[in-house]
Amino acid sequence: MEVHYGYKGVAFNRPVVTMGVFDGVHLGHRMLLKRVVEEAEKSGTDAVAVTFDPHPRMVLAGNPGHLRFLTDINERIELLRETGIGHLVIIEFTRELSRMTASEFVETILCRQLKASHLISGFNHHFGRRHEGDSNTIVECSHRMDFRVTKEKAFRLEGELVSSSSIRKLLEGGNVERAASMLGYDYFLGGKVISGRRIGRNIGFPTANIVPLNEHKLIPSSGVYAVKVSVDDNPAEHIAMLNIGRRPTIEDNDGSSTIEVHVIDFDSDLYGRNMTVWFHDRLRDEMKFESIDALAAQLARDREMAIALLRG
């Protein structure tokens, strides 16, 4: 896949195009992108996906600090590579772009710059100023600008609509298993290991404290999870268990939420290194125990369950 930062100067062969944010690059997105690739192969033209960075909500929100997403632009690029799409055009989303009408966007960018011959849109795609543009807008433009339009049906999994917003809600509720079924892969989080209070090490469960690399990355709800991890750029995966929460059993706790990973089959120093975590199963809610010994006993049970799930 060739990545183009901006649309000026690109030269495509009457491309089949789709566009969207593609947050998470989930199964619905993949179905849409597969259709683009198939149509491009059929007509002997280029398969092109258009996306935006930063996420439009980051620009349009009055206070974007609370916004959380499934993927940042670099993660989206790598996930889009897996779809077989030939070209990815990344358009900088600005206030100026947000004021462009849907018709202006189609005429100026899709037709004049990208020279689209066929536009394939998702079932509920909206774009342009105040999201006024939809598939009907595209059809109207196609009559004036001589390109073909196809609108794909909604993608459903076991009767449930697959969308980025529905996946975000699942993760916010801790349902990482259902989220994975809609994504087509285990949800992942990249972070940097920082120093902690070494409480876990003192009770036989040394942990790596992780700070997310992207402040807008969605963190699943508090609880204990069976996960797999990789360290730095090494593709080797290690089984682990992870806790997200406020550690209510620990005395002198400041109440802040932490992400702590106990890597079961890895004993090298992790401080200062980058780690990627893939969420496999949610084991239980975070709990307050009567004592540190009771906590340690539960962690031993959690570890056995994680091993059974991840090695089973």
- As a whole number of angstroms, the distance between CA 180 and CA 167 comes to 9
Question: Which residues lie closer than 8 Å to 124 by C-beta, 6 or more apart?
Answer: 134, 154
Question: What pLDDT was estimated at residue 278?
Answer: 98
Residue 137's Cβ-side half-sphere holds a number of Cα atoms within 13 Å equal to: 18
Confidence of residue 182 (pLDDT cuts 50, 70, 90): very high
Residue 204's pLDDT band (cuts 50, 70, 90): low
Q: Which residues of 223-243 are buried (b: 16+ CB within 10 A; e: fewer)?
A: bbbbbbbbbeeeeebbbbbbb
The whole-number pLDDT of residue 38 equals 97
C-alpha 88/C-alpha 23 separation (Å) is 14
Q: What 3-state class would DSSP assign to 180?
A: helix
Q: Which tokens hold the place of 209? A: 């404290």
Indicate the range of 133-147, 269-283, 289-303 predicted with least confidence: 133-147
Given this model, what pLDDT does residue 202 score? 60
**Of 182-196, 261-275, 278-292, minimum mean pLDDT range:** 261-275
Question: Which residues have a Cβ under 8 Å from the Cβ of 59 and sit 6 or more positions away?
Answer: 93, 94, 95, 98
pLDDT at 132: 61
Highest mean pLDDT among 123-127, 198-202, 302-306: 302-306
Share of the chain above pLDDT 70, in %: 88
Q: Alpha carbon 236 to chain centroid distance?
A: 21
H or E element at residue 162: none
Which residues of the chain form beta strands (DSSP E)? 2-5, 16-19, 47-53, 87-92, 118-121, 148-151, 156-157, 160-161, 188-194, 208-212, 223-231, 238-245, 258-263, 274-284
- Counting every residue, how long is the chain? 312
How confident is residue 144, by pLDDT bands cut at 50, 70 and 90? confident
Average pLDDT, the chain: 89
Q: In order of start, what are the domains of the chain with their CATH numbers?
A: 2-161 (3.40.50.620), 186-311 (2.40.30.30)
- pLDDT of 162 strictly over 80: yes
The whole-number pLDDT of residue 201 equals: 62
pLDDT above 80 (res 128): no
The terminus-to-terminus CA distance of the chain in angstroms comes to: 35
pLDDT of residue 173: 97
On whether the CB atoms of residues 250 and 204 are closer than 8 A, the answer is no
How far apart CA 293 and CA 107 sit, in angstroms, is: 67
Counting beta carbons within 10 angstroms of the beta carbon of residue 271, is it exposed (0 to 12), middle (13 to 18) or buried (19 or more)? exposed
Summarize the confidence of residues 189-217 as an average pLDDT: 83
Report the pLDDT value the prediction gives residue 195, as an integer from 0 to 100.
78
